[in-house]
Structure formats: C-alpha cells, structure tokens
Amino acid sequence: MSADAWWKNGIVYQVYPRSFQDSDGDGIGDLRGIQKRLDYLVELGVDAVWISPIYPSPMADFGYDISDYCDIDPRFGTLDDFDALPAECRARGLKLVLDFVPNHTSDQHPWFLQSRAPRENPKRDWYLWRDPAPDGGPPTNWISNFGGPAWTFDEATGQYYAHSFLKEQPDLNWRNPEVREAMYEVLRFWLRRGVDGFRVDVLYHLVKDRLFRNNPPNPAFKPGQDPSHRLLPLYTTDRPEMQDIVVEMRRVVDAFSSEDSARVLIGELHLPLERLMAYYGRTPEGMLEGVQLPFNFQLIAAPWHAAEIDRIVRNYEAALPHGAAPNWVLGNHDKPRIASRVGQERARLAAMLLLTLRGTPTLYYGDEIGMADVPIPPAEVQDPFEKNAPGLGLGRDPQRTPMQWSRAPAAGFTQGRPWLRLADDWATRNVELQRGDPDSMLSLYQRLIALRRNEPALHEGRHEQLDAGPDVLAYARSAGTRRLVVLLNFAETEMTVHADLLPTEVVVVASTLAGRSGAVQGELVLQPLEGVVVAQ
C-alpha cells in the first residue's frame, strides 16, 4: 500500500469536538470523549478523524479565535490528553487530522496584544494596521464575513486593524516572513506530536491586496442575502501570492512524511472550479506541489437533481489536473445538514453518491444516523454569525448539536446539561437504536463503507459518467476487469434502466433499500429514490 493511500483511498470523518462526546459532565465534548468513541469510528469503517479546533480560545467564534496555537483549551482537556490520542488512533488503524487556523488569531493572543501596543512594537507588522480614510472611517470598503466592516478602530494607536471575521479575530499579515515562519512552526509542533495532517481553515483568505484597494460591488447581490456577499472579494481572497505560500506550507508538512505514511493538507477553499484547481499547485513539469485535497464543496450547494449532479461531476472530473486526487463533501459545521437540505430518503441516496464517486469522501459527524438541523430559539443562540446577522437563517448552531448516541439521558452525550439543545428525535434516532437495524441509515453507511473498502473499483478505480436519462444519475467505476455501475434514481416514481446501458444480467451488490440483492436479468427497475450498485 502506498504511503498516501490512507487519504487518497480512505474516508475522513469530521468531529466537532464540543458536540461529539463529553467525558466530565460539563456539557461540552472533549478529547477524552473523542478517545472513548474511537472504537465506534472503527466500527463505522472510516480511516481518519478530523477534529475541529481544540486550542486555547476565548470562544468568541467557538475555537476559531485562537489565543495559543500550541496548547489545548481546558474545556477540551490537557496536552497530555491530546498526546494520548495519536497513539490510540494508530492502535486502531486511524489517522488524525487537526484544524489549522492561519488567517487570524484571537485578539487575546500575545502576538496581537504586543501588536496593539505602541506602533514601534516589533509585532506591529504581524497584523494588518492602516490609517483611517480621509473622512476618518475605515481604510477600505472591505466587509467582514460575519457582517459589518472588516476594520475596527483602535483608540490607543489611532489606526484600524483588519479582520475577515469577528473584530475579536484580527487577521495576520502573511506578507511578513516572520509570521509565516511562526505559523509553520505551529505545524511542526503538532506534527512532532503525531498528527497526520491538517485541514487549513479559509486558506484562500491569507493574503490581502498589497495596495489595499476597495472591493467592487457584486452585481448579483440581492437584499436578504448574506451581507458579506454585497462585494466581490477580489482584493481580499485568492491573491496571486497565495500559491507560493501553499507550496511553502506543503514543504513543511512533507518533511514529516515517511515511506509508510504521507502527511496531508486539506484546504478550505470556497472558490470557482477553475480557481479551486489552482490550489493543487501544478508546476510546469506537471508535479503537484500544493494542497493535496482542496475541499470540493459543490454537493453542499447543489440543487438536488440528477441532471445538475451529473453536470457537477462531469465538470469536476474534466477540470482535475493530471494525477490530482478528487474529493467530495456533503456537509460540515458551517452548512445545514444533508438530511435537512434534501430529506431523509434523499439523504440515503446522497450517502451512496458520496461513497461511490471517485475520490476522498468526508463525512460530518451524525450524518451517518440521519441527524438533521435543530431549530435554536433566539434566547439560546450561541453562534456569533447569527447574532451579527439575525433573521437571515445564517446561524450555524442547528448543525452543531450534540451527537445522538443512545436513549440514555442527554442522548448519551453528557451526564450534565448539553451546551446546545438536542434534536427532538434523539430518543428514536441514535446510534444505539440503529445498530443492527438493516433499514437504518447507520447500517446503510456501514454497508456502503464496507463495499467501498472491499472493492478497488470504488476506492481507487477509474470513473466513467453514463447517460440514463434526466432523473437517474449513472456512472461506472472500474479496476482491472471489475466494473461496477452506480444508478441513483432521483425521481419519486419507479424508473427503468434499459438493457442498452447494462448487459443481459447484473448482480445488485448494494442498494439504499435493505434486502435487495442478487441477479437481475433484462431491465432493472429502480424504486422511487433508490440507489443501487450493480456488478457486470
């Protein structure tokens, strides 16, 4: 097995640590809780666990405002608790991926406290400071992703500092070589402790325009949309200098790879397809020296129609540089859950789609049992995004609620009071009840993951898009002489797949409906919203 097979052929599982498992009764998930549930991840069949931020933080943005990159927040445990985790993962054949948040720190980070001191402080240039505009207002028209201006005035020093998100999250100056080296040393700190890779938060934000030009208006913006989309982020994201930084970051991580296991960088990049591909870092000689997995979020925003998904898959496959590893994502901590976006039955179809497409799938905790978004009353809202832009449905609390483990109090998540309310269905939708139930979402995920692991055609094979009509998404996966065809019926009626697409006889090796298997001759009738994998 190649050193990079674990991330090229395997499955990544995202854990939002506050909500996965609490071990001490304070209602907040923690590292010992994650360790307690590692056997569940093995049972599910995933290959790597990615943990969202666990570093010391004032929690203005729930861990994405970091005050110390090289320690563990007491809410989640200690550095000793963390050090036990890589070994426990290795003992179970799991890899460990951490969140790396390089665009900004907390305003309580020692670096920023020094930068905010007199202007002569050596750390001043570690952040983005500018004089006011001639009218005394912000230096540019840049908008925070959480609403309002991306600049906050500092009375003590008479300048504004930039923040792409909350004012408590000042942006680092990645044009400063000292900043880059300090952040690369953060990567080395965790790599020395046994981490296998990083998901890099908002990677495309790191460099801002050298001339601090205003962003142009977005002609497609309409009232009621996310206010941060009012301008096109031309001068605040995806700047040309980013490519050199990505290469530097990759070299730091590659230095810790071995013949047995390659380290990986996964980039959070909300970019058009052409720009997304640039982050693979293709050289004139055809080498790929950038991020190994620039996150492909297209399924999260896609209209749930066969023709649209077919278009997305074809375009993505065609755009990939030679040798690049594809990847697919259905959900994460920032976006509504798949079961809420498309419904429970279609979420079963989505599971088959995710786990049979070519490339690395990423699962979001709880999707494997069909967890849905949980309405959070205004008085209980925690997310600063919702507080800054109320009433627009942008809050992220609904998809961050505690994992539903069992029928025990608080769904087995905690012995205390959960930090966010549970879903109303926690007593009937949980891991305990779905184990062993062949009709359950969990059993479907386990079957599909096992099939993917056992079939080289699925985890490393070639991909061929097929045409089965406007309501059926069809594609073939093959390795050697083994050829599997995936048929996904997006219609709420029966659909017949004719013999011109399939040979005379096929064998159903997987279905979104429990109990369907065996040989089929002639036409194949798909039930409403059914997906099947057939062997020819």
Give tens-digit pLDDT for 408-461.
999 999 999 999 999 999 999 999 999 989 999 999 999 999 999 999 999 999
**What does the pLDDT look like over 209-226, one tens digit per residue?**
999 999 999 999 998 888
Say if residue 366's pLDDT is above 90.
yes
The predicted model gives 336-358 an average pLDDT of 98
Cα 486 to Cα 465: distance, rounded to the nearest angstrom: 10
Q: What is the mean pLDDT of the chain?
A: 96
Say if residue 289's pLDDT is above 80.
yes
Cα 290 to Cα 254: distance, rounded to the nearest angstrom: 11
**What does the pLDDT look like over 475-531, one tens digit per residue?**
999 999 999 999 999 999 999 997 667 777 889 999 999 888 778 877 899 999 999
- Helix or strand (DSSP H, E) at 48: strand 48-51
Percent of the chain surpassing pLDDT 90? 91
Q: β-pairing, 159-162 with 151-154?
A: antiparallel
Catalytic residue flag (residue 268): yes
- Longest CA pairwise span in the chain (Å): 80
Cα 247 to Cα 224: distance, rounded to the nearest angstrom: 39
Sign of the CA dihedral running 281, 12, 204, 171: negative
Half-sphere exposure of 181 (CA within 13 A, CB side): 3
**What does the pLDDT look like over 214-263, one tens digit per residue?**
999 999 999 888 889 999 999 999 999 999 999 999 999 999 999 999 99
**What does the pLDDT look like over 24-77, one tens digit per residue?**
999 999 999 999 999 999 999 999 999 999 999 999 999 999 999 999 999 999
Q: Please write down the HEC assignment for all residues of 302-337.
A: CCCCHHHHHHHHHHHHHHCCCCCCCEEECCCCCCCC
What pLDDT is attached to residue 499? Answer: 63
| 293 bridge partner residues | 266
Q: Which of 268, 310, 368, 455 is catalytic?
A: 268
Q: Which of 201, 238, 310, 367 is catalytic?
A: 201
CA 151 vs CA 27, 52, 145, 470: distances in Å: 35, 26, 12, 48
**Which of the 8 DSSP states describes residue 134?**
T
Cα 457 to Cα 472: distance, rounded to the nearest angstrom: 21
**What does the pLDDT look like over 95-135, one tens digit per residue?**
999 999 999 999 999 999 999 998 999 999 999 999 999 99
Closest CA to 65 of 197, 155, 176, 164: 164
CA 350 vs CA 241, 318, 355, 488: distances in Å: 37, 22, 9, 9
What pLDDT is attached to residue 118? Answer: 87
Cα 207 to Cα 220: distance, rounded to the nearest angstrom: 25
Percent of the chain surpassing pLDDT 70? 99
- Token duo for residue 16: 């939002």
Q: β-pairing, 505-511 with 518-521?
A: antiparallel
Closest CA to 484 of 459, 511, 457: 457
What pLDDT is attached to residue 147? Answer: 86
What pLDDT is attached to residue 521? Answer: 78
What pLDDT is attached to residue 42? Answer: 98
Closest CA to 268 of 346, 192, 344, 165: 165
On whether the CB atoms of residues 504 and 520 are closer than 8 A, the answer is no
Backbone dihedral region for residue 93 (phi beyond 0: left; psi -120 to 50: alpha; all else: beta): left
On whether the CB atoms of residues 209 and 232 are closer than 8 A, the answer is no
Percentages (nearest 5) of helix, strand, coil residues in the chain: 30, 20, 50
Catalytic residue flag (residue 244): no
Return the ∠ at Cα 147 (arms to 66 and 131), rounded to 5°.
Answer: 75
What pLDDT is attached to residue 321? Answer: 95
What pLDDT is attached to residue 516? Answer: 84
Say if residue 155's pLDDT is above 80.
yes
Cα 100 to Cα 472: distance, rounded to the nearest angstrom: 39
Q: What is the DSSP string of 362-415?
A: EEETTGGGT-------GGG---HHHHHSTTSS---GGGSPPP---SSGGGGS-S
* Beta-carbon contacts of residue 7 (< 8 Å; ≥ 6 apart): 47, 48, 95, 197, 262, 264, 292, 293, 325, 360
Cα 38 to Cα 15: distance, rounded to the nearest angstrom: 11
Say if residue 287's pLDDT is above 90.
no
**What does the pLDDT look like over 176-209, one tens digit per residue?**
999 999 999 999 999 999 999 999 999 999 999 9
- Token duo for residue 39: 């056997």
